[in-house]
Structure 1
């Protein structure tokens, strides 16, 4: 029986084309999703596949490929590993991403236990892992463009985290807001003023420092998931490309990574909530607040601002009000 799997997928994953099959599985706001099964090196294997059309899909999947593998390289069994991305052979303009398959949910009886590590401990490990392979002198950024939702993020390398956040995040997303929603003098002038004054005030070199518990000194870039709202975290089992399956683990997915300040991660986590007080207690015990500690809440609000602006760019509506509320508060205090 002929396989219903595109030859590009079969070749990229090294599958036996006579036994490979694909079926719709789950859903995503920006792509179509599938379960791909087949045989590889004498073992039955399973993959998760996303597909999408156009240049944005190609950029999105390339970024997610690199993001997943950066996280997987840093922390074992914390996310599915990505195995291939590219363009379908028989469907011009349709792009794909193939990753380990995730079986999401709670515990499964009869299966071996996982690592037992909590979500807080895994995220803390991600945020404290030293990265020695980053470009000399320009450690903040990422090798490829990533997408937060469908927004393409400018990850070009910068030596200063303050400069990166002002230019590559706030000014970049402001331009997208104006492009998608039309001219907005108040928003434009307010965000620009904040990027010019508040960002260097809170995040500037020599001012923002690692916590004393972690040795002090300048902040060091960590792998950031980048879109870590509660819907991108769960418990589940990772089915690897060799057919091996982990125990039940705390897992994350759909990242939009960057090498940046670890507290940047917390902005979207605070925006939408969904993480317990027990999580926050454990996480901040493992990753103490950077210094000045009394400015931590304002730094997290500054990082949350990016996601309000991104949601306004993508969806319009009330997200503008949320963004302006943060801008006005920070400008009143620091501007």
Structure 2
């Protein structure tokens, strides 16, 4: 591919005076075409990576990823790709692009010792610009748009997101009246039981910048710096434990051992006793959307249904059955 094949909007996003040295397809992307662009700028060779999106919501996808990486770079600049620009194609506005600096990445998962301090820094130092849960633009979990409208309630944010995820899966895998019925009871009982105590009776959670899709496929090692680099972000300000959602499933390389270490070094939100069940609920989001995006993973919806039934059996009275550990002694006697 040569310079004349690049859209004028892409050429305009490159540094002024750029002379194209080479353009080559690079990387494996599910929703876009990836290219490496090498340029010469005043005898200085520079390398860039571009995603070209040719699908519905292309511009929103490009903007969402640009803004997500821009937010991440404020806290962990050595561990993310550096966003440069996004925009619509000039010659075909149905297409869009997202331009970054090029990083020479190796598809290898980092060790816990390498990656945990990075996630700890992001979660502990990031601050929501308005103290609320949400994000200022739509971001996308794969091809599914998130509902990022700002809210003070984490329960509200998560419930509307998971409902939207289920509708996305039903749209592509067909309706499931039984799962709908189970989900209605689940939203009425389990979601309030596990989410509301996070922000009641003196407890609070800080809206933390979450990567949003943190699995080993989105974490690689920079060959030059030897540092872990995360990419393909769908950021939002949310409950930090959401970034552990993919790690519950053994199909992922970064798993429960990382979660256990995170609990020790970063900590758990109160009530601590609910951590594992919150993690189970958060992992449903990933399973539902994975099933919706990939036909071969459709059976995950049955697993979600079984998990919902398990938690409904554990919390049959919903929030009404919550016994606040702050109001009890260790033996269940009022303190």
Q: Post-superposition shift, 1:31?
A: 0.8
User: Which secondary structure state, in structure 1, belongs to the residue aligned with residue 47 of structure 2?
Assistant: strand
Which residue of the partner structure matches residue 121 of structure 2?
A: 125
Following superposition, the deviation at residue 95 of structure 1 comes to 1.1
Post-superposition offset of 1:21: 3.7
Distance in 2 (alpha carbons) for counterparts of 1:269 and 1:2:
42
Structure 2 Cα separation of the partners of residues 274 and 72 of structure 1: 25
Q: 1:312 aligns with which of 276, 291, 295?
A: 291
Structure 2 equivalent of residue 330 of structure 1: 311
Kept in 2: contact 1:3–1:19 (CA 8 A):
no
Q: Are the aligned partners of 2:106 and 2:222 in contact in 1 as well (CA < 8 Å)? A: yes
Match of 1:111 in 2: none
Q: 2:198 matched to which residue of 1?
A: 208
**8 Å CA contact 2:169, 2:292 repeated in 1:** yes
After TM superposition, give the deviation of residue 209 of structure 1 in Å. Answer: 6.1
- TM-score, scaled to structure 2: 0.84
Task: Summarize deviations over 1:144-179 as a string: whole Å, max 9, x none.
Answer: 111111111111111100111011x11111222222
Q: TM-score, normalised by structure 1?
A: 0.84
Which of the residues 291, 315, 325 maps onto 2:270?
291
Q: Is this contact kept in 1: 2:76–2:121, CA < 8 A? A: yes
Secondary structure at the aligned position of 1:208 is classed as: helix
Partner of 2:230: 252
- The aligned counterpart of 1:263 is 241
Q: Which residue of 2 aligns with 1:144?
A: 137
Give the deviation of 1:79 after TM superposition. Answer: 0.7
Mark the CA change 1:41 to 1:221 in structure 2 (over 3 Å): closer, same or farther.
farther
Deviation at 1:41, TM superposition (A): 5.9
Q: Give the CA RMSD over aligned residues.
A: 2.5
The size of the alignment, in residue pairs, is 308
* SS, match of residue 328 in structure 1: helix
Counterpart CA distance in 1 for 2:121 and 2:233 is: 16
Residue 284 of structure 1, CA deviation: 2.5
**1:112-137 C-alpha deviation (Å, 9 max, x unpaired):** xxxxx720100111111141x5225x
- CA separation of 1:20/1:183 partners in 2, compared to 1, >3 Å: closer, same or farther? same
Are 1:178 and 1:184, in contact at CA under 8 Å, matched by a contact in 2? yes
Bigger RCO of structures 1 and 2 (CA < 8 A, at least 6 apart) = 1
* Unaligned runs of at least 5 residues, structure 1: 108-116, 211-215, 238-245
1:1-335 aligned within 5 A = 3-19=4-20, 21-40=22-41, 43-105=44-106, 118-131=114-127, 134-135=129-130, 139-167=132-160, 169-204=161-196, 207-208=197-198, 217-237=203-223, 247-271=225-249, 272-275=251-254, 279-316=258-295, 317-335=298-316
> CA–CA distance in 1 between the matches of 2:171 and 2:259?
37
Contact kept, 8 Å, 1:222 with 1:259, in 2: the verdict is yes
- Gapped runs of 5+ residues in structure 2? 317-335
| 8 Å CA contact retained: 2:126, 2:209 | no
